[in-house]
Chain A
Amino acid sequence: MSSEDVLNPKHMPHDPEKATLEGKNKFIGFWFFLGGETVLFASLFGTYLALNGSTQGENTPEHLFGLELVFIMTMLLLTSSLTSVYAMYHMKNQDFKKMQIWLGITVVLGLGFLGMEIYEFYHYIHHYEFTFRSSAFGSAFYTLVGFHGGHVLFGLCWIVSLMLRNQKRGLNLYNAPKFYIASLYWHFIDVVWVFIFTVVYLMGKVG
């Protein structure tokens, strides 16, 4: 049997992402990777909590943050997590077209989030002159939120390149794990944002 036949069976299994050894490896390996990412963000959160009082002036969390914008951003990202679940649902049902559509919606929502984050940073920098260099709080804020933003950007590029690459040939056992872990990554980003929303924005505004 050639690889082609192995990867395109007549009847796709129900869990195409875990049907091959490579797929299983990717699946577990990626979970481990997310474990490491958790420590990465935990370290950034720790740093932020240690420095969020060092504002060196009036640019404090209470002064800066507006919850309306952040709330919309949160909704966008949460919804995008849901739409990526739909995409994976369709992947398991071998409906490649619908999977692509839902992934497309996920990307659009993600782009919306990213755009608003860029606007938010721009606003802080130009309206409040609150920058990466203005205080330890500034450094910690932009680093934590920026690291997350960078993850969003990377996730978007990843999903888009997967979509384009496989647009013509459809789903097989070789690319199914790739789609699956990309969606895992997207969920992870979403979870991190929930913590950022709580720790940075809510606690900053209320605490």
Chain B
Amino acid sequence: MSTAVAQKRGLGAVIWDYLTTVDHKKIAHLYLVAGGLFFLIGGLEAMIIRIQLMKPDNNFISAGLYNEMITMHGTTMIFLAAMPLIFALMNAVVPLQIGARDVAFPFLNSLGFWLFLFGGLMLNVSWFTGGAPDAGWTNYAPLSTISPGHGVDYYVMGLQISGAGTLIGGINFLVTIVNMRAPGMTYMRMPLFTWSTFVTSTLILFAFPALTVGLFLMMFDRMFGSAFFDVGLGGNAIIWEHLFWIFGHPEVYILILPLFGAFSDIFSTFSKKRLFGYSAMVFATVLIGFLGFMVWAHHMFTVGMGPIANSIFAVATMAIAVPTGIKIFNWLFTMWGGQIKMTSAMLWSVAFIPSFTIGGMTGVMLAAAAADYQYHDTYFVVGHFHYVIVGGVVFGLFASLHYWWPKMFGKVLNEKLGKLAFWPFFIGFHLTFFIQHFLGLMGMPRRYWVFQEGQGLATGNIISTAGAFLMALGTIIFLINVIYTSVKEKKVSGDPWGGRTLEWSIPSPPPHYNFVQTPLVRGLDPLWVEKMDGKEGMTPAEPLGDIHMPNASILPFTISLGLFIAGFGFIYQVDDPTWLIAVFAGMAITLGSMLTRSLKDDLGHHIHKEELEEDIKKGVGKS
């Protein structure tokens, strides 16, 4: 990282730089730090849950606090940890992989981050202002609409704000990938990580508005007395479930697909082989994304939709196993015949295959609608989705961080510590969650604050808790690794792994403008193509010339801050109308900032040819 530069410039300047930056690489840092922080908070909540469930009739925390804990654990991990960490990777990597100098909308990129951050902060402020949301991360009405206190209001406002940020991020990456690819980078030459980012962004675009509407209805019911979910006035609580899962199921694929892409890149790099069945992989990614919209009601088999709807959604859900299976086999055959190098990144990726396969298999079991009458809302489901989310998403995040860390910060994470972190996490993960499948079928519903003695559940739960501690240990070692690496490790070249894609053709960390000259792409795995032709780096597609770059701006921060303030106003105006002042003040800041943005021309700036020539003399432009 730019610690050396930081000392020269002073802390204030660095903070100001990050507050105003529109550089996708710095925004990636912001996402990484914020997402990592929320990941630790969510992990702490998970540990408290596991301690509470350590033994029968435990009284470690109260029933009400327990419900807050599970709600915040789920919400934090999905919205505030997994998604931002994925956005960190997308920001750090996608523009580089397609040979672009920035994203399509650098300003909106920054806005997306600040909206997410303020939304996340808002949610977590609830811990200190009288109680967090307690109706589960799914927030089913009418439990959520009648939940006392303001916890659920924080859920509504926090997710609304951070959800807007995610939507903006999604559109940004769509346009970036459509419009900003380097010459020769056709769709069917894009690295799988870029492809999966593209599909994920499409899912975000079409899934998040359903959540937006759901949250609005919830907000109106709780704050303004409407009757969407109030059966007394003819409302219908099931509407929330539909809206939530129309968003919620694609969300699962929003989380996993980018990591599928990352795994594809990692398997290919560390097997020294081209990805096996590239076009089948692309097709499978698109198909998973498409089917992801057709299956939301499989979360609602026990709601009483009738056998016809249940059967249709069951079969549609099973169909998703086919493209997922295609992916698993193509990864295996990418490694087949290769030269597998077991780096930490590869270790996490290799561990992902059996873990995710188990998660996928239990997924098919859950898809069998009738059988779900037994699985639904038990620890079987908890086991299942942790197998896909931890075994897929978290393993993928660890693998990707090891893989792209040198690109982001110029240093390779210590390999020994990397492997030392892996083993306790991996073993702990299976200990924690495998047994939960059985616990569920033995009669342990999910979200249970206590289980009783004599139900035969004690042994399984203590095993599960022990595993959770091992996972925590693994995470701590990873954090130590991050610190150790930034202090002790040496800088590496721009291409430490023998990379195949464009991001490895430039220095680590890349210069502000990424590419001195836009590269010419001549095939899939463009850098590998050049290497095989005996060339050092990419052939440029343009002569050396001035580079146009966007200007930094504080407005994304102020727009988000305004909504943050207005959010509190909305929550508390129910108790006291003077809080409406906060609503108006906050909205004034937001709308004023937007108007400023609209009226003030922002033409960007140029980096001149002479400066670039200076940089090249210093060695920029080669990896």
Is the CB–CB distance between B598 and A136 below 8 Å? no
Residue pair A40, B213 in contact (C-beta under 8 Å)? yes
Interface of A is mostly: helix
Report yes or no: B174 in contact with A32, Cβ–Cβ below 8 A. yes
B226:A133 contact, CB within 8 angstroms? yes
B227 touches A136 (CB 8 A): yes
B167 contacts partner chain A, Cβ-Cβ < 8 Å: yes
CB-CB under 8 A from B235, the residues of chain A are 51, 54, 136, 139
- B142 adjacent to chain A (CB < 8 Å): no
Q: What 0/1 pattern do residues 145 to 172 of B give for CB contact below 8 A with A? A: 0000000000000000000000100011
Alpha-carbon distance A175/B212, docked complex (angstroms): 30
Given A47-B217, A132-B224, A137-B234, do A25 and B599 touch, yes or no (CB 8 Å)?
no
Query: A161 to nearest B CB, angstroms?
Result: 6
A33 to B175, CA, bound (A): 10
* Any A CB within 8 A of the CB of B601: yes
Closest A residue to B246 by beta carbon equals: A43
Cβ of B236 and Cβ of A136 under 8 Å apart? yes
Nearest CB to that of B602 among chain A residues? A174
**B599 and chain A: residue at smallest CB distance:** A165
Most buried by B among A25, A44, A51: A25
Q: Tell me, in angstroms, the Cα distance from A40 to B209 when the chains sit together.
A: 5
Look across to chain B and name the residue whose beta carbon is closest to the beta carbon of A165. Answer: B599
Q: Does A206 contact B (CB under 8 A)?
A: no
**Residues of the A chain whose Cβ atoms lie less than 8 Å from the Cβ of B487:** none
A198 interface contact, C-beta 8 A = no
A158-B598 Cα distance, complex, nearest whole Å: 9
CB neighbours of B370 from chain A (8 A): none
Once bound together, how far apart are the Cα atoms of A96 and B104, in whole Å? 28
Neighbouring B residues of A165 by C-beta, 8 Å: 598-599
Q: How far, in whole Å, are A158 and B225 apart by their CA atoms in the complex? A: 31
Assuming A29-B171, A161-B595, A165-B599, is B234 touching A143 (CB within 8 A)?
no
Question: How many whole Å from B16's CB to the nearest CB in chain A?
Answer: 25
Check B175 against A25 for contact (C-beta < 8 Å): yes
Which chain B residues lie closer than 8 Å to A137 at the CB level? 234
Check: A199 CB closer than 8 A to any chain B CB. Answer: no
B228 — which chain A residues lie within 8 A by C-beta?
A: 47, 51, 136, 139-140, 143
Q: Which residues of the other chain, A, contact B342 by a CB distance below 8 angstroms? A: none
Q: How far is A43 from B245 in the complex, measured between Cα atoms in Å?
A: 12
Write the chain B residue with the least CB distance to A53.
B234
Contact A161 B598 (CB under 8 A): yes
In the complex, chain B residues whose CB is within 8 Å of the CB of A143:
216-217, 220, 226, 228
**Closest-CB distance, B584 to chain A (whole angstroms):** 16
> Given contacts A44-B213, A47-B243, A56-B234, are A28 and B175 in contact (CB under 8 A)?
yes
Binary contact readout A115-150 vs B (1 if CB under 8 angstroms, 0 otherwise) = 000000000000000001111111110010000000
1/0 contact trace for A150-167 toward B, CB 8 Å? 000000001001100100
Q: Report how far A53 CA is from B236 CA in the complex, Å.
A: 11
Supply 8 A–B pairs (Cβ within 8 Å), ascending by A.
Answer: A32-B171, A36-B171, A50-B236, A51-B235, A55-B234, A136-B235, A137-B234, A178-B598
Given A21-B180, A43-B246, A51-B236, 12 further pairs, Cβ under 8 A = A28-B178, A29-B105, A35-B206, A43-B213, A47-B217, A55-B234, A56-B234, A132-B226, A136-B236, A143-B228, A165-B598, A174-B603
A residues apposed to B, CB below 8 Å: 3, 7, 21, 24-25, 28-29, 32-33, 35-37, 39-40, 43-44, 46-47, 50-51, 53-56, 132-140, 143, 158, 161-162, 165, 174, 178
